[in-house]
Amino acid sequence: MIGGYYEKILDIDLSTKSIKEINLEEEVLRKFLGGRGLGAWYLWKRVRRGEDALGPGNVICLMTGPLTGLPLGRTALVSKNPLTNGIAHSTAGGNFHQELKFAGYDGLLITGKAEKPVYVLINDDEVEIKDASALWGLSTHETIEKLKKIHNDPLLRSICIGPAGEHMIRYACVVTEYWCVYGRSGLGAVFGSKNLKAIAVRGRKGFPIKDKSKLKEALNIWMSFLQKQAATVRSIRARFEEPYLVTLFGKIGQQGVKNNQEAYSPEAWRLGSFQHDLRHWVRHWSCFGCPIHDKQIGVVRYGPYAGTMVVGPGYEPTSALGPLCDLFDAEALMYFVDLADEYGFDAVGLGRVIAFAMELYQRGILTRDDLDGIDLRWGDPKGMKEIIEKIVKREGIGDILAEGVKRASEKIGKNASRYAIHIKGQEIIGRDLRSDPEAALGEATANRGADHLQGTTREEQFSAALVDSLCLCFYHAVFRRCYEHVNLYSKILNLITGWRTSPDELMKVGERVWNLERCFNVREGLTRADDTLPYRLFYEEVPSGPTKGSKIDREEFERWLDRYYEERGWDKQTGIPTSEKLRELGLEEVDEEISQIRVKFSKK
């Protein structure tokens, strides 16, 4: 037995109701580790080219990592992305991941489509597909609570979708307990397309390791590392520090306001940490076993939104549902962040879509009639609430906006695409990138579409893929500086698994996963032309504030892309990984398929 793994995953077909176990090979585990990497491998093997992301042929890969179950783990969801048609991946903490590992599984593959709404129930070795008609239509937190009641088990842990996922809103997310979300990539829509409401798990087998002394040693090393990290992470995150970024970016001219028509916001402090700290903070909360304990629970205590309770809110939902929509009312913001979670929306996607619709209304591209009578003025909570209700039910204009800004702009026409702020079809977070070209390049080249978490350099991007494959929390690794801790990861991994994996080999795993994801995108038709930025970032200067006059120089951007591909061993013309690179990474099987695409390009 390899420590850290049960060496098996579940293979569930919702169409045929079949449930099987697949044994994992050590060679595959060493190559991809788990989480995002193992998910990408199964996605590559299982999903045929051109498969509809919202069709039964798409696969949901839910994977743990070798360290999941220790006080540091998460799970990763990987699938085909309904926004970009490329790869989708997202990780979440909370307290679901350890339960899946303790039930004796390293992950799940879910394919097909159930005839009626269902959920998957895993109770150690008992795995069932259950009728979810009593859950369909419920909000995410209602679903999680109801599942506990149905099974009379307060320790049953679940991930689920809300009404947004049920209606296949392309930017729907998957939610787990206490506001932890698999936010980006439209994974909630993929669940909805399969009539899959939830996955509920109860595990009692514990963490898989034979030599308990090694486990103790690994935990001692890890905990003393986390104690040191805690001060840094807490200084960033604790006591609503994260929304401080809204204040900071607003001041320095890097906060998108009114769908990035502006980037300077002296008003942003109204949503900043100090306001939350003073008015909303109740207590801290933590994912399973994490000593950093940095999640902040806040409650709105007075006014029309009194009683609203959320964790955070983090920078991303704050900036998207706040300044992007010109909303600077902290209590209204808390309400919309909570609503997004309850309905199961990715708050970034939702905020960006509302801001896009507001700008089209401002410019007369969408009229009040087009908006089904909604007066969608900047910063007006009433209009925001009304448009969210339309979107979540796919009613009228809501049906178009449910498709995300890229597809909606194509349907609306009238030059609306100039105001659609996305990369590869996935909406960009609220930050304004025009004065930070390095970050813009990172977002443009990320495999899942617009993505502020992957960094730009080789070290940053490969170590981000590594951290997600080990299923570690980004905050433990202090964001993009994960590569500084690879020695530590290899030490812990070797103690747990019994392997002798060097830090260099681990970084190779990150590079392999990054290349495999790129190849998945290439097979789906994405190329260099998709590694680009929205019109506004190239052609409209920031109009005021400290970054006034900034925009991304298009020609220079193309030169950066050349260098980016060269550094990774990819072809400059197409952005396709070379045969040498794929073979160096042990991806021969992938190279065979990609070589046919290279031939097509060379004939063009």
Stretch that binds ligand SF4, among 26-34, 148-156, 284-292, 484-492 (CB under 6 A): 284-292
Q: Residue 475 CB, nearest distance to ligand SF4 (Å)?
A: 4
Which residues does 359 contact at the CB level (< 8 Å), separation at least 6?
258, 259, 261, 419
- Taking the least distance from each CB to ligand SF4, the nearer of 93 and 322 is 93
Stretch that binds ligand SF4, among 290-298, 329-337, 477-485, 533-541 (CB under 6 A): 290-298
Among 44, 475, 514, 557, binds ligand SF4 (CB under 6 A): 475
- Taking the least distance from each CB to ligand SF4, the nearer of 473 and 513 is 473
- Taking the least distance from each CB to ligand SF4, the nearer of 230 and 350 is 230
Write the interaction track for ligand SF4 spanning residues 92-111; mark x where CB under 6 A is met and - where it is not: -x------------------
Among 99, 177, 242, 294, binds ligand SF4 (CB under 6 A): 294
Distance of CA 373 to the CA centre of its chain: 33
Q: Residue 564 CB, nearest distance to ligand SF4 (Å)?
A: 29
Nearest alpha-carbon partner for 405 in 341, 358, 338 = 358
Query: For residue 314, which phi and psi values (nearest 5 degrees)?
Result: -75, 180
Strand 196-202 and strand 281-285: pairing?
Answer: unpaired
Q: Are 520 and 87 in contact (CB under 8 A)?
A: yes
- Taking the least distance from each CB to ligand SF4, the nearer of 86 and 317 is 317
Q: Residue 429 CB, nearest distance to ligand SF4 (Å)?
A: 18
Among 161, 172, 199, 292, binds ligand SF4 (CB under 6 A): 292
Q: Does 286 bind ligand SF4 (CB under 6 A)?
A: yes
Stretch that binds ligand SF4, among 26-34, 152-160, 241-249, 292-300 (CB under 6 A): 292-300
Per DSSP (E only), the strands in 64-141 are 75-80, 87-92, 107-111, 118-123, 126-131
Stretch that binds ligand SF4, among 150-158, 203-211, 470-478, 580-588 (CB under 6 A): 470-478
Q: Does 357 bind ligand SF4 (CB under 6 A)?
A: no
Q: Residue 316 CB, nearest distance to ligand SF4 (Å)?
A: 13
Q: Does 243 bind ligand SF4 (CB under 6 A)?
A: no
What is the C-alpha to C-alpha distance for residues 249 and 260, in angstroms, rounded to an integer?
A: 13
Q: Does 287 bind ligand SF4 (CB under 6 A)?
A: yes
Quick one: tokens of 489? Answer: 């990861």
Q: Residue 476 CB, nearest distance to ligand SF4 (Å)?
A: 6
Stretch that binds ligand SF4, among 207-215, 270-278, 286-294, 408-416 (CB under 6 A): 286-294
Cβ neighbour number for residue 25 with a 10 Å cutoff: 10
Q: Does 87 bind ligand SF4 (CB under 6 A)?
A: no
Element (H, E) at 197: strand 196-202
Stretch that binds ligand SF4, among 62-70, 77-85, 104-112, 282-290 (CB under 6 A): 282-290
Q: Residue 223 CB, nearest distance to ligand SF4 (Å)?
A: 12
Q: Are 40 and 32 in contact (CB under 8 A)?
A: yes
Q: Residue 474 CB, nearest distance to ligand SF4 (Å)?
A: 7
Among 101, 295, 422, 431, binds ligand SF4 (CB under 6 A): 295
Sheet of strand 309-311, all strands in order from the earlier edge strand to the far edge: 281-285, 295-299, 309-311
Nearest alpha-carbon partner for 249 in 454, 545, 460 = 545
**Interaction with ligand SF4 in 542-571: which residues (CB under 6 A)?**
none
Q: Are 450 and 422 in contact (CB under 8 A)?
A: yes
- Taking the least distance from each CB to ligand SF4, the nearer of 290 and 353 is 290
What is the C-alpha to C-alpha distance for residues 218 and 54, in angstroms, rounded to an integer?
A: 41
Report H helices in 105-211.
140-150, 163-166, 187-193
- Taking the least distance from each CB to ligand SF4, the nearer of 94 and 575 is 94
What is the C-alpha to C-alpha distance for residues 2 and 66, in angstroms, rounded to an integer?
A: 9
Q: Are 506 and 489 in contact (CB under 8 A)?
A: yes
Write the interaction track for ligand SF4 spanning residues 137-166; mark x where CB under 6 A is met and - where it is not: ------------------------------
Nearest alpha-carbon partner for 106 in 162, 35, 209 = 35
Which residues does 193 contact at the CB level (< 8 Å), separation at least 6?
53, 54, 55, 56, 58, 82, 113, 168
What is the C-alpha to C-alpha distance for residues 173 and 345, in angstroms, rounded to an integer?
A: 5
Which residues does 145 contact at the CB level (< 8 Å), separation at least 6?
none
- Taking the least distance from each CB to ligand SF4, the nearer of 109 and 218 is 218
- Taking the least distance from each CB to ligand SF4, the nearer of 181 and 325 is 181
Among 63, 268, 473, 552, binds ligand SF4 (CB under 6 A): 473
How crowded is the C-beta side of 437, counted as CA atoms within 13 Å?
A: 13
- Tell the burial category of 245 from Cβ atoms under 10 Å away from its Cβ (0-12, 13-18, 19+): buried
- Taking the least distance from each CB to ligand SF4, the nearer of 289 and 503 is 289
- Taking the least distance from each CB to ligand SF4, the nearer of 120 and 159 is 159
Q: Residue 374 CB, nearest distance to ligand SF4 (Å)?
A: 36
Q: Residue 321 CB, nearest distance to ligand SF4 (Å)?
A: 20
Among 109, 144, 245, 290, binds ligand SF4 (CB under 6 A): 290
Residues binding ligand SF4: number (CB under 6 A): 12
Q: Residue 178 CB, nearest distance to ligand SF4 (Å)?
A: 10
* DSSP state string for 398-420: HHHHTTHHHHHHHHH-TTGGGG-
Q: Are 9 and 105 in contact (CB under 8 A)?
A: yes
Q: Are 323 and 433 in contact (CB under 8 A)?
A: no
- Taking the least distance from each CB to ligand SF4, the nearer of 476 and 581 is 476
Q: Which residues sit at the interface with ligand SF4, rule CB under 6 A?
A: 93, 233, 286-287, 290, 292-295, 473, 475-476
